[in-house]
Amino acid sequence: MSAKQLRGAHEPSWTEVTLGAVLSVALGIVLGALLLALRPVNTVKELPKEADRVPGAVYYVEGSHDSGKARQAAAKRKQFAGGATVAANEDEINSLVPAAAAPAPAAKPKTAEKAKAGDKEAPAASAPSGDLISPGAPNFRIRDGVVQIGVPVTINLFGLIEQKVMVVARGGFVKKGDGFAFDPDTLYLGSCPVQRLPFAAGFVAKKVLGSIPIPEDIAAAWPKLADVKAEGNTLTLAMP
């Protein structure tokens, strides 16, 4: 067989070349998104001016949770559960939304031999949850008619890398089906804008925003809402 025939027999087809290029691009997107997701956001007390912002940096301002400004939270909760329209500020919302449930403690490992009398039992090490994303307690902020939800999460990559970052979603409430749901315009996992990655956005929204615990009485009254609107620094829950 000639050298020309040997080269032709081993040359990749256009299909293989195209597939290789597509896989390379996809791998680059995944690795780039992962690196951005592992990069923490810049937590600040107030947003810096445009001229002072670092290019590519993501800034996060935590919502207020001043108990002094949330004194009417319990009364408004009772009114809402009873079917009345209420307007709540971020301090009141943050005081009413409980923290995410902590993962169950790991079971103590069974040993083949019984511990000797008088020996102290070593404390069992807590096992990682094994979840790719483990959310913590949410924080709400309302400014200029925009609702921001910030949730600290732990990213666990097969036990090899563990990084704590923020999931930050900004948007408003829209009518979906028979009720209202939060619809983020922007959704960041760490410094990664996952709203640009449709499949990732759906996963993060369901895993993190969908895990926010809602008190039973509020959850029971929520389907009765006629409208949910953020105006200025308050969220109005309008009943029929």
Q: Does residue 224 fall inside a structural domain?
A: yes
Q: Does residue 30 fall inside a structural domain?
A: no
Q: Does residue 50 fall inside a structural domain?
A: yes
- Average pLDDT over the chain, rounded to whole? 79
Q: Does residue 208 fall inside a structural domain?
A: yes
Q: Does residue 149 fall inside a structural domain?
A: yes
Q: Does residue 207 fall inside a structural domain?
A: yes
Q: Is the pTM of this model over 0.85?
A: no
Query: Mind listing the pLDDT tens digit for each residue in 35-82?
Result: 666 788 889 999 888 888 888 888 999 999 999 999 999 999 999 999
Q: Does residue 211 fall inside a structural domain?
A: yes
Looking at the structure of the chain, the number of domains it has is 1
Q: Comparing 15-29, 75-89, 107-121, which segment has the lowest mean pLDDT?
A: 107-121
Q: Does residue 111 fall inside a structural domain?
A: no
Query: Mind listing the pLDDT tens digit for each residue in 151-181?
Result: 999 988 777 778 898 999 999 999 988 889 9
Token pair 């940096």: residue: 57
Give the range of the structural domain holding residue 84, as residue numbers without chain letter: 36-101+127-238
